[in-house]
Amino acid sequence: MKRFLRLLAVAAALLLLCGCMSPIASDSPLFPTTTVERPAPEASQAEDITSLRVAYSEDDGLNPYEMRSEINQKLSPLLYDSLFKLDDSLSAIPCMAASYAMEENRCVVTLRGDIAFSDGSPLTAEDVAYSAGLARAEGSPWQQALAEVTEVTAAPGGQVIFALEQADAYFTALLTFPILKSGSAEAPVGSGRYFLQGEGTLALNENWFGGGIRRIKTIQLISQPDKETLIYSLKVGTIDYIYSDLSDETAANAGGSFQYVSLNNLVYLGMNRSGLLSQPAFRKMLEAALNRNAVVENSYFERAAVAAAPFPPQWPPLADLEYSRAIDQTAIAEYLEGLGFSARGEDGRLISSAGAIDLTLLVNEENSYRVAAAAQIQQQLKSAGIGVTVVQTDFATYQSRIASGDYDLFLGEVKLKANMDLSELLSPEGTLAFGGRDETLWAVYLEFRAGRAGLKDFLDAFYESVPFIPLACRRGAVSFTRAIYYGVEASEQDIFYNIQDW
């Protein structure tokens, strides 16, 4: 099974290649008992809407463990609550969980006592354990995220115990799977803000533990053949609210109002471990010579955020460190001197006894963002005296060349799990550690992931080795009709994150 899951991870990551933390405070629930007050609208604003029209795939249904379309998956948090939810900083915020404790290889979650399903029956630990079984089953959208879970047990006192293969201080970020009433998989019953009332309508769940819904009383499900039609439907007024991960430029022009959504899609510069690139000093020199801000601003524009670490930049632990990386001319000179480069040829390239530096940078020609980023990197490294030839290929060739090691550099993208797991990129057995493995770095990472080492300890070790160079994390966006002026908050995990307060 482990080998199967690793193969799944490789397949998913290659598609994207085209692309101990202090626990989240358990006394800060997602849905506080106080009501969020918003200022009254000005007279010039549109009349309040009480019904929202959203996209829906009739071919998919609303069973969260059988959904395959992204359109319907984005509806799931409206119908089914989870133990934790992810906000736009990608922090795990308690939802159904009243508290939790990380105990080495166990996570003990204590449930809130005021939660009922939409049919009025109370939530129990058995319901959570039942849902965890569905989430871990083969083919579930949550199977890969929960691959490290070895057992889930319902315990007395409304507690649920998750046994893990290894300690993981970030584990609660993975507990976003939908909670169903035990035995209701055939006709799912949830405890979310809404429930399915008849065909095509979501109505208020009067038993929802978060209290009343301020404005949106019903949600109309409007059938859409595919997500490519969403932008048109929003523009002509057929639907009111859509989400896009902005993976292509056409999705960036939805019209109306919009708000960016943080993603954990890491864009990075991969490096082979042959020739000069086998030397940490050379890899560190490349990292010190790159201007990430310029790369992102001139290729992704506002659709990505600069990543100085191999994690999303808005992630709170990074903010606590005030972590950043900048061009370091002194460090560049020291690295080059140590490598024997002290002169430049007529073309400006650095020269040593082995000759001038000339690297190939592999990029998928089908991704316009990364093609533009490759051109930026080429120009920057040229200024540093490093010749770079950008090689654009179709996706299949791009995959094949990376797998066979036929590259010096490549531009890649990987979607990190919600617990920010870097195992596939760093592990000696990592399926995405294409450029090589560093046993010392891996050991430090495991200590960090288990909570026995700090984030700074890991980042110091990471940039001592530089297995790859983080560049950016992409953004998605929610777009909506201008009639919605309520201060929308959205996250990738729940694009309707604060709909109860609109």
User: Each residue of 138-190: pLDDT tens digit?
Assistant: 999 999 999 999 999 999 999 999 999 999 999 999 999 999 999 999 999 99
Residue 17 lies in a domain: no
Q: Are residues 364 and 225 in the same domain?
A: no
Going by the DSSP 8-state scheme, the letter that residue 424 receives in this structure is: H
CATH number of the domain at 234, please: 3.40.190.10
Q: Are residues 52 and 113 in the same domain?
A: yes
Task: Answer whether residue 66 shows pLDDT above 60.
Answer: yes
HEC string of 440-452? HHHHHHHHHHCCC
Q: Are residues 207 and 345 in the same domain?
A: no
More confident position, 217 or 198:
217
Task: Answer whether residue 38 shows pLDDT above 60.
Answer: no
Task: Answer whether residue 129 shows pLDDT above 80.
Answer: yes
pLDDT in tens, 383-408: 888 999 999 999 999 999 999 999 99
Burial 150-170 (b: 16+ CB within 10 A, else e): eebebeeebbbbbebeebbbb
pLDDT of residue 350: 81
Q: Are residues 397 and 497 in the same domain?
A: no
Domain that holds residue 139: 47-240+481-501
Q: Are residues 150 and 287 in the same domain?
A: no
pLDDT of residue 249: 66
Categorize the per-residue pLDDT at 436 as very low, low, confident or very high, splitting at 50, 70 and 90: confident
Q: What average pLDDT does range 416-435 have in this prediction?
A: 90
Using CA atoms of 336, 338, 342, 346 in order, give the dihedral in degrees to the nearest 10: -40
Residue 424 lies in a domain: yes
- How much is the pTM? 0.87
Determine the Cα–Cα distance for residues 459 and 310; give it in Å rounded to an integer. 9
Q: Are residues 422 and 491 in the same domain?
A: no
Mean pLDDT of all residues belonging to the chain: 87
Q: Are residues 285 and 211 in the same domain?
A: no
CATH number of the domain at 342, please: 3.10.105.10
pLDDT of residue 172: 98
Q: Are residues 319 and 216 in the same domain?
A: no
Q: Are residues 166 and 110 in the same domain?
A: yes
pLDDT of residue 24: 31
More confident position, 405 or 1:
405
pLDDT of residue 253: 58
Q: Are residues 360 and 406 in the same domain?
A: yes
Residue 222 lies in a domain: yes
Residue 53 lies in a domain: yes
Residue 57 lies in a domain: yes
Residue 417 lies in a domain: yes
Residue 20 lies in a domain: no
- Report the sign of the C-alpha dihedral through residues 140, 141, 146, 147, in that order: positive
pLDDT in tens, 45-56: 445 789 999 999
Q: Are residues 279 and 205 in the same domain?
A: no
Weakest-pLDDT range from 383-387, 429-433, 463-467: 429-433
Residues 6+ apart with CB under 8 A from 298: 372, 376
Q: Are residues 344 and 223 in the same domain?
A: no
Residue 115 lies in a domain: yes
Task: Answer whether residue 435 shows pLDDT above 60.
Answer: yes
Determine the Cα–Cα distance for residues 110 and 98; give it in Å rounded to an integer. 6
Task: Answer whether residue 63 shows pLDDT above 50.
Answer: yes
Number of domains in the chain: 2
pLDDT of residue 340: 85
Categorize the per-residue pLDDT at 120 as very low, low, confident or very high, splitting at 50, 70 and 90: very high
Residue 96 tokens, joined: 């159904």
pLDDT of residue 484: 84
HEC string of 216-267? CCEEEEEECCCHHHHHHHHHHCCCCEEEECCCCHHHHCCCCEEEEEEEEEEE
